Homo-oligomer: A and B are copies of this chain.
Amino acid sequence: VSVTLRPDVVRLTISCPDRPGIVAAVANTLAEQGANLIHADQHSTDPEAGRFFMRVEFHLPNLLEREHEIASSLAPLAERFAMSWQLSAETELDTVAIFASRSDHCLLDLLWRWRRGELPMQLAFVASNHETLRRDVESFDVDFHHVPMEDHALGERELLTLLAERGVDLIVLARFMRILSADFLERCNCPAINIHHSFLPAFAGGDPYRAAYERGVKLIGATAHYVTAVLDDGPIIDQETAPVSHRETRADMKRVGADLERVVLARAVRWHLERRILLDGRRAVVFR
């Protein structure tokens, strides 16, 4: 992987009830630890009674050795502001598993961007309920697991085993055509990002291009979102639309939509890996 990862660059993300003084307190604490702030983003849903979100990039040599010390220095802040926080070095890569079915466009685009260095991640494996894409995946020197899903519970157990073996931090559903159970989502112990081929909340559920065609919409869309136990209902990370007219058949819609899907999914995955996404209930704060 040829991603340019900056050594000694650390990301801190913060979420807490909004109150005066948070930024100054965080900036001071980091300065006292010798951190040089590179970039900071913040957002408040309401300065009065809202929630506060912050993402800070700073330069700090030897994070691994000093992680405990930094954590200790943040602890009083966390208590004072009822803050949850997460700290990670840019060079600590998430381990990612991709689930796919038969469609290749989203999967190949992720593999290609990963090889090109656009996605800072360790790619653990690709799992699919079909054999179709094995050759494509293996040509990238990535493990491919065929996990049949006819027996859904059995398939999910096999997927859970694979995830656990490889210590996966993020699942990406690249047009995986099976619905993961609430039980699976609880046990997998990591977030999952899905791409849905419509501008949600329109056309949730199966066959959205057919539904879009029949409704006669003048634009089609794609939505990347976190997966929750309710189908196509999790926090939306990114969406994009493209215009269509009466001349586009359903096959044309699929073709145009595929170009949206792969771009939107790749962007959402990158933002997640770069720690740019914080959740505000059902809404996603994305520090682009």
**A217 contacts across to B, CB distance below 8 A:** 199-201, 236, 239
Do A218 and B237 form a contact, CB below 8 Å, given A43-B247, A59-B47?
A: yes
Is A283 part of the contact surface with B, judged by Cβ < 8 Å? Answer: yes
**Does A40 count as interface, using CB distance less than 8 angstroms?**
yes
Q: Mark A231-266, 1 if CB is under 8 A from B, else 0.
A: 000011111110001110000000100010001000
Q: Quick check: B236 and A215 within 8 Å, CB to CB?
A: yes
On whether the beta carbons of A263 and B259 are closer than 8 Å, the reply is: yes
What B residues does A139 contact at CB under 8 A?
A: 139
Stretch at the interface among A28-36, A85-93, A175-183: A28-36
Q: Considering the chains assembled together, what is the distance between the CA atoms of A24 and B33 in angstroms?
A: 12
B59 and A37: CB pair below 8 A? no
Bound CA–CA A39/B283 (angstroms): 19
- Cβ-defined contact, B282 with A214, below 8 A: yes
CB nearest neighbor in B for A234: B216
Q: A116 within 8 Å of B by Cβ?
A: yes
* A20 at the binding interface (Cβ < 8 Å): yes
* Further contacts, 7 of them, CB under 8 A, given A24-B28, A199-B217: A21-B31, A24-B31, A27-B28, A202-B202, A216-B236, A217-B236, A246-B280
